[in-house]
Structure 1
């Protein structure tokens, strides 16, 4: 039973997923494309664009793609506000998306059952 090798990428935790969603900062070279998906105006895209790491960029794209299928399509402000509201389960939604697309990270993404120790 060998340890699962790390593929050189970041280990994605629930906090990582939440942080990516909170930031919603498209990579500089894709800010307009991602901005269009979120119905942002060009000046809004300009004001939020920034460079982020490749794993985070991929995670962000996956989450945005998933959210783009939600009706009505949420704006980045709505998503950030929702993240701050305990009633909305967007962080959990993000974790589901991450687990589906990064199966190697799934054990780190599954919340531990309370009262269990190994």
Structure 2
């Protein structure tokens, strides 16, 4: 699982594209959350709900969820790793490669000499 922390100030809004299998949890604060729009009897509906600390959503389908922080809030987004990341180990960086240098020092490109 890959976990991201999202901080929202009171009144701040967020649109978040969730994928199937994602989990969104409210760790702190209060939110008003709008589900993706759904068509019912030829009319677009966009249900909303208030979330309190500790509430979570397991996305069983993809869609864009929107939220507005009623108080300062902290969200945790947990996203499953892609299959290739779960099964294949990460390749080690070659000793002289730029990636290996970036792991131990700054990644700025060297200045060209004239």
Higher relative contact order (CA 8 A, sep 6+): 2
Which has the larger share of strand? Answer: 2
Q: TM-score, normalised by structure 2?
A: 0.25
Which has the larger share of helix? Answer: 1
Q: TM-score, normalised by structure 1?
A: 0.25
Which protein shows a greater Rg?
A: 2
